[in-house]
């Protein structure tokens, strides 16, 4: 049985989102993109990916609101958050909600790859 290697990237920063998508593609991962929280939640409900990379601050829904909604709807999608202005409070809330990690933008490629490897057991 093949491992599903589909990743959702949800971030309202187009350049950042597309840059991460290109990087993940070079690592052999299939990528879906969402420019806001509402689009991300719709994609997560329609076809849950192996992993969601969620910006903490997006129009529509924040990453934390998305994760809380997924858990309430009993959708089990592993999530990693990132933010340019993550604080210890935000990180604590995200971890309590079930986030695998909270990364600070800009995210170094080596750090992202390490977290993806852990989350996807690559």
Q: What is the pTM of this model?
A: 0.93
Per-residue pLDDT of the chain (122 residues; tens, 9 = 90+): 345 689 999 999 999 999 999 999 999 999 999 999 999 999 999 999 999 999 999 999 999 999 999 999 988 899 999 999 878 888 898 999 999 999 999 999 999 999 999 998 86
Sign of CA dihedral 39, 45, 49, 53: positive
CATH architecture label of 11-104: 3-Layer(aba) Sandwich (3.40)
For residue 100, give the 3-state DSSP assignment.
Answer: coil
The three-state (H, E, C) secondary structure of 3-43, written as one string: CCCEEEEECCCHHHHHHHHHHHHHCCCEEEEECCHHHHHHH
Place of tokens 């187009």: 14
pLDDT at 46: 94
Domain ranges of the chain: 11-104
Which distant-in-sequence residues (6+ apart) come within 8 Å of 59 by Cβ? 12, 36, 37, 38
pLDDT at 4: 66
């Amino acid at each position: 049985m093949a491992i599903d290697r589909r990743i959702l990237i949800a971030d309202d920063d187009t350049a950042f989102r597309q840059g991460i998508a290109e990087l993940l593609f070079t690592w052999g991962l299939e990528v879906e993109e969402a420019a806001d929280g509402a689009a991300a939640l719709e994609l997560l409900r329609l076809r849950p990916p192996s992993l969601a990379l969620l910006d903490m601050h997006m129009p529509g829904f924040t990453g934390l609101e998305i994760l809380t909604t997924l858990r309430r709807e009993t959708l089990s999608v592993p999530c990693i958050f990132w933010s340019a202005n993550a604080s210890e409070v935000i990180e604590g809330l995200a971890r309590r909600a079930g986030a695998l990690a909270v990364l600070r933008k800009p995210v170094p490629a080596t750090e992202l790859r390490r977290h993806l490897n852990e989350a996807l057991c690559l």
